[in-house]
């Protein structure tokens, strides 16, 4: 149980374009989903917390207009990186939580912006 | 500022030995404590959760929590080369709450 998927697993895009990443909880309803970013050899950095049907809460320093998060259902959240630049290249990971303490992570999406 | 501290390592242990990983946290109202394992290039995988003082065992893994000392640890018995990974300590304050992660301890199990 507690399986979270992400799509795509990797993506290469050109500078200035937008990229959408999907996060799905496959066998449970996720009341809350979290989006993280991880640069090489660094720890996870929380970007935002999203609850189904409401606006995401962004961490300090994360541009909400650049990283658009939609949590339209209890099993799906999306992160759209708008006007991507090379410095946005990173490993983006979502996690999902039901009404419990545990968070389960998706496999991650590796974004490369050229 | 909530903080979770871990020794970055690498912690090197021989195959078959016990690996001991430690973590301290600053927020006294923390209620939930987790250990995640992360292989290079992969996302974190939840391996242990603990919520009350004492020990919790699951197979070769034992998590220990001491809230008075604000200390949580993970013991891995009979360490295997496949245990070589970065172990992340994470602390939360309630249900579906955001977690504060440590920077991770890199474990190397040598043959």
pLDDT tens digits for A2-12? 899 999 999 99
Mean pLDDT score, B27-56:
94
CB-CB neighbours of B55 under 10 Å: 11
Mean pLDDT score, B37-57:
95
- CA nearest to A2, candidates A32, A25, A34: A25
Tell me the pLDDT tens digit for each residue of A64-81: 999 999 988 989 999 999
- For the cut 70, the answer to whether the pLDDT of residue B95 exceeds it is no
Contacts of B45 in chain A (CB under 8 A): 105
CB A3 within 8 A of CB A104: yes
Query: Given this model, what pLDDT does residue A41 score?
Result: 84
Query: Given this model, what pLDDT does residue B97 score?
Result: 79
Mean pLDDT score, A42-62:
91
Greatest Cα-to-Cα distance within chain B, rounded to the nearest angstrom = 41
**Residue whose tokens read 């490369």:** A112
Q: Does B34 touch chain A (CB under 8 A)?
A: yes
| Residue B45: strand, helix, or coil | strand
CA atoms within 13 A on the CB side of B39: 7
Mean pLDDT score, B20-39:
95
Most confident of A33-42, A93-102, B58-67: B58-67
Q: Does B3 touch chain A (CB under 8 A)?
A: no
| Residue B83: strand, helix, or coil | helix
Interface test with A, best of B44, B96, B100 (most A CBs within 10 A): B96
Mean pLDDT score, B52-56:
96
- For the cut 80, the answer to whether the pLDDT of residue B96 exceeds it is no
CB A76 within 8 A of CB A12: no
* Confidence band, pLDDT 50/70/90 cuts, at residue A1: low
Of the candidates B94, B99, B102, the beta carbon closest to that of A103 is on: B99
Contacts of A3 in chain B (CB under 8 A): none
Mean pLDDT score, A16-41:
93
- For the cut 90, the answer to whether the pLDDT of residue A43 exceeds it is no
Distance CA B109, CA B111 (A): 7
Q: What is the CA radius of gyration of chain B?
A: 13
* Confidence band, pLDDT 50/70/90 cuts, at residue B98: confident
Distance CA A29, CA A81 (A): 25
């Amino acid at each position: 149980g507690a399986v979270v998927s992400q799509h795509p697993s990797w993506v290469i895009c050109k500078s200035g374009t937008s990229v959408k990443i999907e996060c799905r909880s496959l066998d449970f309803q996720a009341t809350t989903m979290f989006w993280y970013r991880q640069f090489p050899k660094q720890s996870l950095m929380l970007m935002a917390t999203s609850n189904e049907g409401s606006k995401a809460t962004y961490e300090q320093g994360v541009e909400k207009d650049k990283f658009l998060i939609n949590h339209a259902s209890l099993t799906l959240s999306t992160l759209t990186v708008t006007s991507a630049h090379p410095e946005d290249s990173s490993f983006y990971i979502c996690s999902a939580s039901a009404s419990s303490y545990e968070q389960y992570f998706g496999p991650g999406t590796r974004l490369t912006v050229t | 500022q909530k903080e979770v501290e871990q020794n970055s390592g690498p912690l090197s242990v021989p195959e078959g030995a016990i690996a001991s990983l430690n973590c301290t946290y600053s927020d006294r109202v923390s209620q939930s404590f987790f250990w995640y394992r992360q292989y290079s290039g992969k996302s974190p995988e939840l391996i242990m959760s603990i919520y009350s003082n004492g020990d919790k065992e699951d197979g070769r893994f034992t998590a220990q929590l001491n809230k008075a000392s604000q200390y949580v640890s993970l013991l891995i018995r009979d360490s295997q080369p496949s245990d070589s990974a970065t172990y992340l300590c994470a602390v939360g304050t309630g249900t579906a709450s955001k977690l504060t992660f440590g920077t991770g301890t890199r474990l190397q199990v040598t043959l």
